[in-house]
Structure 1
Amino acid sequence: MTELLNAHHIHKSFSGVQVLRDVQFTLQAGEVHALLGENGAGKSTLLKTLFGMHRPDSGTLSVGGQPVVLNSPSDAQAQGIAMIHQELALIPELTVAQNVLLGNEGQEVLSYPRMEARVQPFLDQVGLNVSPRTPVKRLTIAQQQMVEIARAVARQARIIIMDEPTSSLTTHEIEQLYRVVRELTARGVGIIYVSHHFDEIEALADRVTVLRDGQYIGTVNQRDVTQDQLVTMMVGRDLVAQVGPERRQPGAVRLWVQGLGRTGAFADVSLRVHAGEVVTLAGLIGAGRTEVLRAIYGADADAAGTVQLDGQAVAHPSPASMMRRGVGFIAEDRRHQGIVPDARVSVNMMLTSWAKGKAGVREADMRALVEPQMQQLGIRPANPNQTIRRLSGGNQQKVILGRWLAAGCSLLLIDEPTRGIDVASKADIYALVDDLARQGVAILMVSSELPEVLRLSDRILVMREGRLVGELDRADASEERILSLATGADTHAKDSAVV
């Protein structure tokens, strides 16, 4: 096979901290080469180095057998390298055609009709059935991702880097992405694919390279290794099998929701969550699960219905009033709704305690609360003065959990607790959720990962098209049963999901 890319003995440091040490990576024409590692393993730094966003301190890069120096993404694009970021880099107000040709317009001034005609073959190639004149802001996330891929195809990219491409896609949309990836590799394009989902790696990857703590661990043929072997390569140890915890003993009803609804989002949702119990809202993306959590917390104030906490009605739920009543909320969008990126870890962990008047702002007060929490939660590196944006996603999520632990809460609403988090951090967070429940905290959770739902839940409430359509006890639940309810294939769902 033809070698498209070779990264040889790559080293990279930031402010004296070594983040890549002697990393090796090669990419062949027509292959999908998966890059695996825990959050903080150095994957993002390597991808940015391959795309010209970082210059390596030492080591060499070759494209098509020729040494190259990439000083910018423009240099990388000139070498036929495209990158599809986890946070898509499109301009919402521009049309599909304008976004596809952005930076690749050529010397000719194109009229809108000629621009759209030029772009249409690329949209056909990736299976995107929308008009080239559609503003990107009107597209779904999956459609926007296909616009990014069409832009890479339009630039005749030989190497396409995909960073967590399925993080916001439905099952059908993931299958569409798989099809496009296979068609690209059939034409000789090389794909660098980053994902935390082993089923994706198994479905697509030819080879897998693993990084750990910024170091190259090895490259293996995907078909020659098991998931357990890859996990051991990633974390440097065998993880305890993630079987469900021993059955919990729920206490009194802590949360009671009746007839909750919000126009256009969900309707007639009734549920109960007991102290010491984990209840999960399962279902397909768009079923209304996140909207239910937000309505309970009062983040969306236009919901109808009643909410009771410990038997007391909450007249007009709002984030401030719910927080005062001991309700915590962890949003799915960690980056924009969970952290203050440029603030220190200690500040991020103290935000709720300050808002509830439970702690002072003196440095000594902060350290007394934060340092034990960081140790208990296993946050790495254990430096409370570091800005939180420098932590991995898993460690950021631990900080957010620590925020509510420090402030004290009796009910915790968690939306996608391990989205974009590596396997080792997932195990840590599962243990934390289980510990909280055993301490008597009531937990209402949304998760799209069915193994996670089965691992953590005492009861599972399944939503479809904005309504609760069934309830499963942990002992009766399976991935097939949940999917049947979520898709409407199961015609024997319970009429009521209220316990």
Structure 2
Amino acid sequence: MQKVTKIFGELVANDHVDFQLRKGEIHALLGENGAGKTTLMRILYGLYQQTTGDIFIDGEKVTINSPKDAIKKGVGMVTQHFALVPPMTVAENVVLGYTDSFVLDQAAIEKKVGEAANQFSLDINPKSIVRHLSVGQRQRVEILKALYRNAKVLILDEPTAVLVPQEVDSLFETLDRLRKDGLSVIFISHKLDEVTKITDRVTVLRDGKSIGTVDTVNVTQKQLAAMMVGRDTFGVTRQTEINPDNKKILEVEDLCALDDKGLPALKNLKLSIRSGEILGIAGVGGNGQKELAEILSGVKAPISGVIKINDKNLVGKDPSEFSKMGIGRIPEDRHEGVVGDLTVYENLALEHLDEYSKNGFLDKQAIRKNANELIKNFQIKAKPTDRIRTLSGGNMQKVLLARVLSRQPEVVIAPQPTRGLDVGATEYVRQQLLEQRTRGAAVMLISEDLDEILSISDRIAVIYEGEIVGTINAQNATPEKLGLMMSGALREKA
């Protein structure tokens, strides 16, 4: 890709970007949110067309107007959210859209797909129904689907985001084999340890421009982070140990709950958090984390169990009473936690409007004064009058942090607080959680990012199918051990 520029209205998403991919290499594409990575790859896959610039494949200038064009040119893409049909078999999914026949010869396609899986050393049964497969197996189906279409270039967008450590290892083994067979892979990831482990070269984008391309063996994670954000990042980790004599602030006993479909989501769940402690909740998504966060903030009612803060039972209370009792929850989906068309100052006051009401009227002067203080204290890059939908993900998250943490809650519930954030914003959010710990708050960090869990937690509780299958001290935890617990293969007593 040479001098590729993409302009949306007044926004320059890609600014004369050069990107070169060699045969048989894994090439990482790094950058903060909004740096232009996704736009660049959408251009290569035909979802967008560049404003200016050229694309060359095998030295030949090509025009790619659609994914169909891209596939014909040997470019395949596996997105974070898989495009598979769950009731169909692996073989049916692989050939879907890649056959001219109205009637499928089931035995023939299973034979061909099975041969392709063997050719590429992908351990997958073509007769399996997709809905019965694990996330890692579904990802292999997506990779097989691209390779079956004769992909020479494979784009992987955040490929490890939904995998447990053992599945990540399996993915890397697959990619290494494919690389040796001559496949070229573009690896988009926020996880610098993975990038330095699996890739050959790294290209960094910042503000739509290419900062440079480096050989992975010649660069450190710290240097890559500095290239991404334009400054040094030092990483945020827990520096001190918790005092074991600290008082238990939050206690949960025998908690049971149903999900939105009426199926069991939490089963006799037990946990506790002390003052000045961060308890990390590790687990693959969909194992009850969402329901746990909702129940602990009063948004959802359990069907049985006890929730105590400072020995006072909260079961049956509404969200406002949870808040008054000292529980602060940072919403899991930042877009659902704000009202997009309202201003920053209005969103900062949303959950506490009664404090700014006089005789039925809002004291907007007091609301703005509060907003100015919080914008300064939480380093929000926005004006009080900006519509919150115009903010970046990182600044939107800072608004939510400011709204919750400025109240100095005794318990902080933080589900997926850095999901989708870039390196700089992630560092800021983790630092804020550590400051709450230092202040003496009991912090529950629910995260699918094991690096995050291991970096700042004091203890780690693993949730699997709605149960806590083990709680271990963070200094005794390893990704391998947590991975086994997250997959239900290992249980450990607290």
TM band (smaller chain): 0.7 to 0.9
Distance apart, 1:216 and its partner CA: 0.8
Aligned partner of 2:41 in structure 1 is 47
CA distance in 2, matches of 1:51, 1:371: 44
Aligned partner of 2:351 in structure 1 is 353
2:155 is the counterpart of 1:161: yes
Change (3 A) 1:464 1:79: closer
Tell me, yes or no, if the aligned pair for 1:119 and 1:132 is still in contact at 8 Å. Answer: no
Change (3 A) 1:361 1:26: farther
Aligned partner of 1:455 in structure 2 is 455
1:70 pairs with one of 64, 71, 87: 64
CA distance in 2, matches of 1:118, 1:490: 37
Aligned partner of 2:312 in structure 1 is 312
Distance apart, 1:28 and its partner CA: 1.0
Length, aligned pairs only: 482
| Superposition CA RMSD, Å | 3.8
2:251 pairs with one of 239, 249, 256: 256
Per the normalisation by structure 1, the TM-score is 0.82
- The more displaced of 178-187 and 441-450 is 441-450
Distance apart, 1:197 and its partner CA: 1.5
Structure 1 residues 308-344: Cα deviation after superposition (integer angstroms, max 9, x where no partner): 1233212335656535645333465667x6567x656
Change (3 A) 1:82 1:334: farther
Question: Partner amino acid for 1:97?
Answer: A
Aligned partner of 2:429 in structure 1 is 429
Aligned partner of 1:445 in structure 2 is 445
Aligned partner of 1:391 in structure 2 is 392
Tell me, yes or no, if the aligned pair for 1:266 and 1:467 is still in contact at 8 Å. Answer: no
CA distance in 1, matches of 2:349, 2:62: 46
Aligned partner of 2:114 in structure 1 is 120
CA distance in 2, matches of 1:103, 1:219: 36
CA distance in 2, matches of 1:114, 1:221: 44
Distance apart, 1:144 and its partner CA: 2.4
Question: Partner amino acid for 2:328?
Answer: G
Change (3 A) 1:328 1:143: farther
Distance apart, 1:418 and its partner CA: 2.4
Distance apart, 1:356 and its partner CA: 7.1
Change (3 A) 1:480 1:348: same
CA distance in 1, matches of 2:469, 2:154: 41
2:3 pairs with one of 3, 9, 13: 9
Query: Which residues in structure 2 correspond to 1:176-187 (within 5 Å)?
Result: 176-187=170-181
Per the normalisation by structure 2, the TM-score is 0.82
CA distance in 1, matches of 2:365, 2:58: 56
Question: Partner amino acid for 1:327?
Answer: I
Question: Partner amino acid for 2:124?
Answer: N
Distance apart, 1:190 and its partner CA: 0.9
Q: Helix, strand or coil: the match of 2:178? A: helix
Tell me, yes or no, if the aligned pair for 1:245 and 1:455 is still in contact at 8 Å. Answer: no
- The more displaced of 208-217 and 431-440 is 431-440
Tell me, yes or no, if the aligned pair for 1:248 and 1:438 is still in contact at 8 Å. Answer: no
Aligned partner of 2:199 in structure 1 is 205
Change (3 A) 1:438 1:76: same
Query: Which residues in structure 2 correspond to 1:399-410 (within 5 Å)?
Result: 399-405=399-405, 409-410=409-410
CA distance in 2, matches of 1:469, 1:219: 43
- The more displaced of 48-57 and 432-441 is 432-441
CA distance in 1, matches of 2:109, 2:384: 52
Q: Helix, strand or coil: the match of 1:152? A: helix
Q: Which runs of 5+ in 1 are unaligned?
A: 1-6
CA distance in 1, matches of 2:145, 2:162: 20
Structure 1 residues 235-261: Cα deviation after superposition (integer angstroms, max 9, x where no partner): 222123534245677975432222334
1:129 pairs with one of 124, 129, 135: 124
Question: Partner amino acid for 1:469?
Answer: G
Q: Helix, strand or coil: the match of 1:145? A: helix
Distance apart, 1:403 and its partner CA: 4.2
Question: Partner amino acid for 1:467?
Answer: I
- The more displaced of 165-174 and 419-428 is 419-428
CA distance in 1, matches of 2:338, 2:438: 27
Distance apart, 1:132 and its partner CA: 3.6
Aligned partner of 2:134 in structure 1 is 140
CA distance in 1, matches of 2:430, 2:147: 40
Distance apart, 1:171 and its partner CA: 1.3
Q: Which runs of 5+ in 2 are unaligned?
A: 259-263
- The more displaced of 253-262 and 283-292 is 283-292
Change (3 A) 1:382 1:347: closer
Structure 1 residues 332-370: Cα deviation after superposition (integer angstroms, max 9, x where no partner): 5667x6567x65673994585268776788987775555
Aligned partner of 1:377 in structure 2 is 378
